[in-house]
Amino acid sequence: MAGDEGVIPEVTLSIHGAPRPERADAARNRRILLEAAGRILRDKGVDALTMDAVAAEAGVGVGTVYRRFSDRGGLAYALLDDEECRFQRAFISGPPPLGPGTPPQERLRAFLHRYVERLPDHADLLAAAEDGTARYRAGAYTLHRQHLATLIGQIDPALDAVYLADALLAALSAHLFLYQHREYGMSLERLKTGLDHLLSGITS
């Protein structure tokens, strides 16, 4: 296959999401805004996390918040930077089965299971970050997609690895998790078993 329909070749992945080196004053301003956002999350919950609220809490104009984070999704992803970078390091260079050194089928399963295990602590904030198309524009999604597509291509080069990577990641949407786990009462083990059934169509 060619273009976006083909298999993404194996590449050296790099961490997405970590703040770039910046001037001391810019780093300080970023920290002030994130600390303000963190206080809002802790005291009032994710529904209260708005750009206006962060500006008021930090004592700055709302334009400052928008210039720094673009939108609410960007702010939410910034709050998740540290945890996301730890996850990325684990699947890029950590121990197997999540990291290198085990067959692609096992790495694929380990990625999906670990992602599910992250969701109880982070789904509310991820749901805020995933408003609209923000999820698909985030560097983290791009890296997750590339990683899964690479593994799928290693399992069977004839598969449409990019499409299947998107399909698997759709099953890990924070909004879907909140419905399945909190409203419908599905356990994490049930969700993992369901993902295993989806994987069987790829790995068998």
The total of structural domains in the chain comes to 1
Q: Is residue 41 part of a domain?
A: no
Q: Is residue 137 part of a domain?
A: yes
Distance CA 176, CA 182 (A): 10
What is the per-residue pLDDT across 155-179, written as a single tens digit (0 to 9) for each?
999 999 999 999 999 999 999 999 9
- Give residue 199's domain range: 103-203
Distance CA 25, CA 34 (A): 14
Match 């750009």 to its residue by tokens: 51
Residue 70 DSSP class: S
Q: What is the pTM of this model?
A: 0.80
Sign of CA dihedral 77, 83, 89, 94: negative
pLDDT of residue 6: 43
Q: Which two tokens stand for residue 177?
A: 């998790």
pLDDT of residue 22: 63
Q: Is residue 36 part of a domain?
A: no
Q: Is residue 149 part of a domain?
A: yes
What is the per-residue pLDDT across 75-106, written as a single tens digit (0 to 9) for each?
888 898 888 999 999 999 999 999 999 999 99
In this structure, which amino acid lies at residue 33?
A: L
Residue 1 DSSP class: -
In this structure, which amino acid lies at residue 155?
A: I
Q: Is residue 157 part of a domain?
A: yes
Q: Is residue 195 part of a domain?
A: yes
Average pLDDT of every residue of the chain: 88
| Helix (H) or strand (E) segment spanning residue 29 | helix 24-44
Q: Is residue 44 part of a domain?
A: no
What is the per-residue pLDDT across 4-35, written as a single tens digit (0 to 9) for each?
444 344 445 555 555 556 677 778 888 999 99
Residue 179 DSSP class: I
Average pLDDT for residues 111-122, to the nearest whole number? 96
